[in-house]
A and B are shown apart, each in its own frame.
Chain A
Amino acid sequence: MKIVIMGCGRVGGMLAGLLDEAGHQVTVIDIDSWSFRWLPRSFSGKALVGDGTDVETLRKAGIEEADAFVTTTQGDNRNVMAAQAAKHIFNVPKVVCRIYDPLREDLYKSMGLETMSPTKLGANVLMDIVLGKGG
């Protein structure tokens, strides 16, 4: 699959590495080239410096041919904006949007966006561990 990832932090960098290792064609976008240090040394995909909320940057990253787009920047609003551009302007078949704020996550899920809230997931996992229910 051709996959574009916006935001190359710990999560974005690791996800890019995992998908690359699994044989996918990965392009990762970040506004700061220093962030690409989070990519594994073995990463063979593309790293692009640019603002993923700008449609021109998304085009450069190959969004028009992408099978999937994932947003993993620190900003919920940036993630939501880029994800909606990918879904509604570029018709990317699979768009996944990270949203820290659980309330905003609920809203955008109800509006048809595929979302993931690390806050909700993390809190639930921690609760299970604390209560001894963890796998």
Chain B
Amino acid sequence: MYIIVVGGGKVGYFLSLALLSEGHEILIIEREADKCKVIAEELGSVVMRGDGCEVRTLEDAGANRADLLVAVTHRDEVNLVACQVAKHKFGVKRTIARISNPKNEALFKMLGIDVTVSSTNLILEQIEEKLPTHSMSHLLTLEDGNLEIVEVNVQTGSAVIGKKVSEIVLPASSLVCLIINAAKGAQVPTASSIVEAGDHIIAVTQPEYEAELRAALTG
């Protein structure tokens, strides 16, 4: 594939390195001369100096034959415009934008950006998962079905300890799928399975019932 990467900072550099090693044709567009020089020295002639939002720059970059454009500068508005110019002026089929402000995700989707990657959200999620006090973490979001898979840690003092699964009142569209116990391992629960302190519960729910599920399993 021919892939244009807008932004030659750390993300752009390491992304390009990975894509090059997979055998793709890469062109990095970077505005700063110093960064261009470093990239050219490290990765070879895969960098072009210019503004990736400019029609002329993208024209010179051969955007009309690009399979994919990935905009990973640290500025959301630059990433948005680079993707929109690529898509609407040069017919690039797939565009990916990095987002710093998580609030921009909805807007970018609405404006036709195919994929958005929120670096702030990714870091937040990683840290949240590592927080010992955090009782519930997201494992996976199934966007098509509006479902998510979450993990709940049953902490000492929780009201569900000693209860059978059938006795726990769950919100609508929610299901306990798996109970992971330190001694017994992972088990698909039956109605009579009993929840113990320290268990990890894997459950399926819908985003709107997440808070209720959390309350039911940790309250």
Contacts and interface: CB of A to CB of B under 8 A. Distances in A.
B55 A80 contact: no
Contacts of B80: 77, 80-81
Interface residues of B, number: 21
Chain A interface main SS type? helix
Interface string A30-68: 000000000000000000000001111000000000000
Given A77-B53, A103-B55, A53 B77 contact: yes
The 6 closest A-B pairs by CB, nearest first: A103-B55, A77-B77, A81-B77, A77-B81, A78-B77, A77-B78
B75 interface: yes
Interface in B97-127: 101, 103-104, 106-107, 110-111
Given A56-B103, A104-B55, 10 more contacts: A53-B101, A80-B77, A80-B84, A81-B77, A88-B110, A101-B55, A103-B55, A103-B56, A104-B53, A107-B85
A89 B107 contact: yes
B163 interface: no
Contact of B75 (A55, A77, A80, A107): A77
Contacts of A107: 55, 84-85, 88-89
Contact of A101 (B54, B78, B103): B54
B76 interface: yes
